[in-house]
Structure 1
């Protein structure tokens, strides 16, 4: 996913237009080249990428250890398959630092995979309710 800091980009483009306008009026070819090179560097987008925070694997009901999120954009990627007892519920509840439930990231029966996105920072844990096999990966964008 590509994220561009719009403030930097708009400000850079506005400065570029003003500076180029002045250089053109002055007829200064050297200044025009310098302005073009400078504004091309300044207008580069800010690229954010996903970074793994922690991963959980299992096949039983549990509350995970706490993990810390310092980005306001993070996701819970999960996949599950039926275990030896067949298709069952698979639920992921998201908890805050106090252990209070703040959301549901998954709630299906049987095989599946998906992602849920969260925006709050700080310490969290998950409560996993299932007897199915699962892998859950927490990632944050930086």
Structure 2
């Protein structure tokens, strides 16, 4: 964690940003890991739209399906970059889908942003576990 803190402070210093008491910085990957939203790519079935997006970008069709699943809209596609409005309403590239450095033996898995980012880490997992099964 010390490495992450150093990177954050170095970037802030380079931008001449000053932290004040009570400021909180959260990186997307940390939020994703806390939100426990990992997807096994083998469980993803690409739609016709995902196949077309993959063909146009050269990206994996399963990854493109995750982008579509996690997005309200695709705003722009340029080369391998896909600009989206994700399901939470945030604009960015790749709808918050992350396949880098998600842990040991992570091949074939992706990490997604929490579906409800205001929840505390682990709350969504606890809520799901305590929710009664649907009839």
Q: Which TM-score bucket, shorter chain as reference?
A: under 0.3
Could you say which structure has the larger radius of gyration?
1
TM-score, length-normalised on structure 1?
0.27
Which structure ranks higher in relative contact order (CA pairs < 8 Å, sequence separation ≥ 6)? 1
More strand by share: 1
